[in-house]
Each structure stands twice: as C-alpha cells, then as structure tokens.
Amino acid sequence: MTILPILVAPDPRLKVISEPVVDVTDDIRKLMDDMLETMYDAPGIGLAAVQVGVPKRVIVMDLAREGEDKSPLFLVNPEIVEASGDLSVYEEGCLSLPTYYEDVERPSKATVTYLDYNGERQTIECEGLLATCIQHEMDHLEGVLFVDHISKLKRSIILRKLQKTKRLQKGAA
Ligand code: ZN
C-alpha cells in the first residue's frame, strides 16, 4: 500500500466534481487500499479520492477510536436517499484544511446507498458522527469543503492563512 499526498486547500483540484465509478475493479480496490493507508497515516477518519487528486466517487472512512479495532468503510458512488429534517452541529475538521475546525450544521440522520469494496450494493442508516462524516465526505465529491458551509468571512480568513502557509513551505523547500 502506498501513502498518497493529500491536497491542501486552496487548490482548484479540490473543486472538481468527481465522476461515478463504472465498475469496482482491482484498480479501484487498490485506490481504496492506498486511500485507507493515507487516511490512517494522516491521521483522519475520512478521505475522498479527490483529496488525493483522483476525481472519482470513492470514499474511505473509519470511525474507530484509539485502542478500538479498525473498522474501515469503503463507499463507492454513495447517494443519500433520505435525510432527516432535524439538524445537528459538529465541530468538523478536514485533512485538506489542516489545523482548522469549525461548527457545521447538517441533517442529523441520513440513509445512504453505495457500492462496497466488492462492488455489492449496500444501504446504511447513519446518525451522529457517522452521518456527519459521510455527508462531509460526500460534499468532497461535489467539490465542496466544510468551510463552504460557514460564513464567507471565516472561510476567507482560513483559506488565506492556508495559502500563506503553502507559500512559506514552498519558500523553505
Ligand atoms: Zn474533508
């Protein structure tokens, strides 16, 4: 398995709308394995393929806490078939927006269909952190970041700071 470089915002490649996967092939499984390794290494609880520069509708997640057994979840072509009217707020972070966390409001429950690691169709009912995380990752497939859900002012401050950090890192390299 390979650890892939994660794109950091602002980056136009994070704005790309991801394409559906036609078939869950060995190449897609290799991508999912590499993404999972990359996510564990970061460390993070969710990663969309577009964050490693591959605009395909593929997500990996693992909400297991430290000390718990790993429980990876692979979602190909996920679709929300139902979302609750009631909302909940979570402080979200993102591997593409390192060091920044903000409260985001989303439907507290959702029903999601997807293809699993073996290409089998699955349906899950999610709530709590799982619902938030799935919706956050699915946003990536539409080129949306969690900062797109907060005020324009806060967003521009965060993106400007990240841009500045990138420039400094470039200068130092
Ligand atoms: Zn993210």
pLDDT per position as a tens digit, 47-101: 999 999 999 999 999 999 988 999 999 999 999 999 999 999 999 999 999 999 9
With the CA atoms of 12, 3, 126 and 123 taken in that order, what torsion angle do they form, in degrees rounded to the nearest 10? 100
Q: Does the pLDDT value for residue 172 go beyond 90?
A: no
| Token output for 80 | 């929300």
What is the rounded CA–CA span in Å between residue 132 and residue 146? 11
Q: Does the pLDDT value for residue 103 go beyond 80?
A: yes
Question: Ligand 1: distance of its center to the CA of 14 in Å?
Answer: 10
For residue 15, the model assigns a pLDDT of: 98
Query: What is the pLDDT confidence band of residue 114, given thresholds at 50, 70 and 90?
Result: very high
Question: Ligand 1: distance of its center to the CA of 23 in Å?
Answer: 24
Report, as an integer, the average pLDDT of 23-32.
98
Q: Does the pLDDT value for residue 173 go beyond 80?
A: no
pTM assigned to the model: 0.95
pLDDT per position as a tens digit, 140-166: 999 999 999 999 999 999 999 999 999
For residue 169, the model assigns a pLDDT of: 86
Question: Ligand 1: distance of its center to the CA of 138 in Å?
Answer: 9
Question: Ligand 1: distance of its center to the CA of 46 in Å?
Answer: 7
Per-residue buried b or exposed e for 140-165, using 16+ beta carbons within 10 Å of the residue's own CB: bbebebbbebbeeeebeebbeebeee
Question: Ligand 1: distance of its center to the CA of 94 in Å?
Answer: 4
Cα 1 to Cα 40, 54, 60, distances in angstroms: 12, 16, 14
What amino acid positions are annotated as catalytic residues? 137
Question: Ligand 1: distance of its center to the CA of 50 in Å?
Answer: 10
pLDDT per position as a tens digit, 2-26: 999 999 999 999 999 999 999 999 9
Domains of the chain: 12-172 (3.90.45.10)
Q: Does the pLDDT value for residue 1 go beyond 90?
A: no
Q: Does the pLDDT value for residue 170 go beyond 90?
A: no
For residue 37, the model assigns a pLDDT of: 98
